[in-house]
A = this chain, B = another copy of it.
C-alpha cells in the first residue's frame, strides 16, 4: 500500500483549514484533495462522502467549543458561571467565525459525543441553582438559543448598524442572567 499519506483525521484537518480560510461554502472534496496533493477520488478511501466530512467537521468544532466553555465555566457559579459560558462561547466564535458557521445543528450521531460535552458544560454553569431535571433542560435551551442567536448573526454579519457589538453582547448577558434569576423566582 502506497505510504499512507492521508487518514480520516488528516482529511478533517485539511477541511478545517479550508473552512477557516475560505468559508464553509468552499468546503468541497475537490478542494480538500487539492490541498492534500491527491486526486479527489482518493479521499473516498478515508471518508464515505462529503456529507461525512461535514459531519466530522461539525463534531470537531463542537468539541473545541465544548472544551473552551467547559474550562471557562469550571470553578464558577451562578451569574458568574453563566457570564463565563456566554462570553467564552462568543470568544470562540469570534476567533473562528467560519468554523462556527460550518456547524450542522441537526443532531447527528458523529457529533453526539462532543454535543453531549457541550451540553454538560451548559449544565455545569447551572449547578447550584437547584434546578430539577426538566427545568434544567428548559434553561439550557434558552441559554443556548441566546448565545447561538447572537453569535451566528454576528459571525454572518447579520448586524448592520454601526453600533458597538460588545455593548450589545454585554446587555445580552445581563438580560440572560437577570432574566433567569427573575424567571426562576416567578415560576
Contacts and interface: CB of A to CB of B under 8 A. Distances in A.
Interface of A: 105-107, 134, 137-139, 141-142, 144-150, 152-153, 156-161, 163, 167-168, 171-172, 174-183, 186-187
A128 B78 CA distance: 32
Nearest to A157: B106
A186 B177 CA distance: 12
Number of copies: 2
A168 B142 contact: yes
Contacts of A144: 149, 153
A117 to B, nearest CB: 14
Contacts of A148: 149, 152-153
10 contacts: A105-B152, A138-B163, A141-B150, A147-B149, A152-B152, A174-B182, A174-B186, A177-B179, A178-B178, A179-B180
Given A147-B149, A163-B134, A168-B137, A175 B105 contact: no
Contact of A149 (B137, B149, B161, B177): B149
Given A149-B147, A149-B152, A163-B134, A107 B174 contact: no
A178 B168 contact: no
Given A138-B168, A138-B171, A156 B186 contact: no
Given A139-B171, A145-B146, 6 more contacts: A106-B158, A138-B167, A149-B149, A174-B186, A179-B182, A182-B182
